[in-house]
Structure 1
């Protein structure tokens, strides 16, 4: 679901904070009908608040993507949308205790709406992925925005590295938790 009352794209800390309130309101309105919630924004807005109150599994795509990447290699690299996203992501990796396994992040310099230009986005992502592989030693790539989903397979082919699409990672974890009854 795309929330109608949130920002059009989450690109700054203010956007994250604004989106967190929208995500929380949505979850509260649907909590009796949901088996799990997946927060499908790479900044994981509202994740902690939802976990306190939802009563069902709550997965954020950023956290899930990194945890998945760590099962696939020793180091991961993140392809971010904008340079301003990187400090926010690094704070998350530190809070998760996995910052030492992050080979680095490279921003493609495209805001959320610019991802619609598929050829330019794919070219920028492939360049970023190769840089993370060749210059930083990343063994796994993580796509740093839900809007990058269509590019997983071509990015993987272009770089020869496993690529984690964060919404797929979180959804797989959510399904597993529901099936296990946690």
Structure 2
């Protein structure tokens, strides 16, 4: 029996973002663990920055999940969790959204979390999701970088902006853990954590860590002859 396969899908068409995800997930590629593959939804917008962008990738994501029958778990690597529920309907395998996973992970590391958003217009969308999760009261604040997704992935000033915005979340808003609110910020997680002195959660790493656990447990159950959880 193989160790399994996890597919991490970047719903935007920016290959630089996908490359950053692939690099950030290297620590989770462990000996004997599931393979972790990253792919780009080529028909997606260059950056998912509006509700229209979110809705535009929902059905393409579901079709992609349906087509990958050889995959043991999926991760939707966009902080708006586009298509999460329709993808869960499209497969019996686990599907993880990075906002949901990032928030759950943050709650295990601190009392109140702050979120660094790409742009201000993303924040109402994120807050709606938190209300649906029933966790808005645990949010210290969400502040924007006021950059594009492409700029967060490759901009020269991204890290300085992250330090400034993350510092305000910690020092002014009382956050004791910070979530990076875009998959394109993944490569800055470790440096930002060192600069801020609090845990910084890359939500894609958080989601993939959950996927690794789910796949490993399913494999162990199969080897033991125990039915996997539905």
- TM-score normalised to structure 2 length: 0.77
Ranges in structure 2 where 5+ consecutive residues have no aligned partner = 1-38, 219-228
Larger deviation: 116-125 or 9-18?
116-125
Deviation (angstroms), 1:4 = 0.6
Match for 2:82 among 45, 55, 58? 45
Q: Hey, which of these two has a bigger chunk of helix by percent?
A: 1
Instruction: Look up the match of 1:25.
Output: 63
Distance 1:111 1:74 in 2: 29
CA distance in 2, matches of 1:168, 1:9: 20
Equivalent residues of 2:153, 2:185 under 8 A apart = no
Give distance in 1, aligned partners of 2:46 and 2:59: 14
Partner in structure 1 of residue 175 of structure 2: 138
Deviations 1:27-82 (A, max 9, x none): 1111x111011001111000011112211000001100000000000010000000
1:7 to 42, 45, 51: 45
Alignment match, 1:111: 148
What is the correspondence of 1:52-91 to structure 2 with a 5 Å cutoff?
A: 52-91=89-128
Moved over 6 A (4+): none
Larger radius of gyration: 2
What are the Cα deviations for residues 88-119 of structure 1, in whole angstroms up to 9, with x where unaligned? 00011111111100111010000111124444
Gaps of 5+ in 1: none
Give the Cα separation in 1 of the matches to 2:154 and 2:55: 27
**1:158 corresponds to:** 195
TM score, norm. by length of structure 1: 0.96
Q: Tell me the distance in 2 between the aligned counterparts of 1:54 and 1:75.
A: 34
> What is the deviation of 1:125?
0.6
How many residues are treated as equivalent by the alignment?
181
Secondary structure of 1:100 counterpart:
helix
Taking only aligned residues, the RMSD between alpha carbons, in angstroms, comes to: 1.0
